[in-house]
Structure 1
Amino acid sequence: MKSLKFVIATLLAATVSAPLLAQTVDVSGAWARATVQGQKASGAFMQLTAKEGTRLVAVATPVAGVAEVHEMKMEGDVMTMRAVQGGLELPAGKAVALSPSGYHVMLMDLKLPLRKDTTIPLTLVFKDAKGVESKKELLVPVATSAPMPGKP
């Protein structure tokens, strides 16, 4: 009987703790860049701070055919942008910026224009050091520029 209670308690703890992982990643300053009619790509930006080491392994949204974590950087005199392979490392307690000039969420094959003063749903998928996956659902405001600090 004791072992059955232990198994039930262990299963319950695993079930409850898995969804909580996403709560260990704080998201601040999230926004997506507004588009004009016919524009098929845009970006989403934010700051991620993980309480424990984890990785951002995927992004999804119904407003784009493709959503990926990209890195923009200079290689000599050429600016390059490419998808991050294997996920973006989020070291414990260190803020990682997703910004227009570095790592960012690339939204491609947009299904509709991203209009200023609206929001879009965005799902972030994380994987911890043990390989446990979790998701964080966001409603990201659409703007023409980054929001001012301290303002929603």
Structure 2
Amino acid sequence: MLSVRSTVLALSAIVFTSFVQADSLIVEDPFVREVPPGSPATAAFMTLYNQSDAPVRLIEAQNSITEYTELHDHVVIDEVMQMRQVEAIEIPAQGKVTLAPGGLHLMLIGLSQPVNTGGSVSLNLFFDNGDGIEVVAPIRSVMPMHQ
């Protein structure tokens, strides 16, 4: 019979091996936006490259500091910019998509700890082709989107 420790170690090995960087997907320059103490949410940004001959969709993300993560975009409706949750973020075949302030991004909601420059956040990205990538994103101070 397996001990609790053996079971935890075995499950950990399964979880960590499922987050191997895929040969066809590359994540460049990931970072999380620094926010003031007491803020309920922050955002993560990066560029995703797809080196395969078929489009791939980012369908889920998880992180180490919030209750949940949503895929978001900014859209202009009646001349007002609004943030909207999206079902997926498509990376075209042999192409890239940039998650950046004012556009597509990951919304990290329900912060459980401060988000300060110099720290980092572990992000797990899941794609519709079954690939998963674990990324460590540094926390950066980012100027406001609208000045």
Q: CA deviation at 1:23?
A: 3.1
**20 and 60 in structure 1: CA distance in 2 versus 1, 3 angstrom threshold:** closer
Q: Which has the larger radius of gyration?
A: 1
Q: How many residues align?
A: 124
Structure 1 residue 20: Cα displacement: 6.7
The residue aligned with 1:48 is: 48
2:132 is matched with 135
Residues 20 and 132 of structure 2 are in contact (CA less than 8 Å); yes or no, is this contact kept in structure 1?
Answer: no
Percent identity over the alignment is 28
8 A contact 1:22–1:126 mirrored in 2: no
What is the distance in 1 between the residues matched to 2:101 and 2:43?
Answer: 7
Distance 2:21 2:135 in 1: 15
- State the TM-score, normalized to the length of structure 2: 0.78
1:73 to partner: Cα distance: 1.4
**2:5: which partner in 1?**
none
The 3 A distance-change label for structure 1 pair 20 and 119 is closer
TM-score (norm 1): 0.76
Unaligned runs of 5+ in 1: 1-17, 147-152
The within-5 A match list for 1:69-108 is: 69-85=71-87, 87-108=88-109
The list of structure 1 runs, each at least 4 consecutive aligned residues, that deviate by more than 6 angstroms after superposition, is: 18-21
- Please list the CA deviations of residues 2-24 of structure 1 after superposition, one character each: whole Å capped at 9, or x if unmatched: xxxxxxxxxxxxxxxx9777331
RMSD of Structure 2 on Structure 1 (CA): 1.8
Q: Partners in 2 of 1:20 and 1:105 — Cα distance?
A: 20
Closer, same or farther: CA 122–41 of 1 in aligned 2, 3 Å: same
- Taking the TM superposition and a 5 Å limit, the aligned residue runs for 1:2-151 are 22-52=22-52, 53-85=55-87, 87-128=88-129, 133-145=130-142
* Cα contact 1:23–1:136 (8 A) shared by 2: no
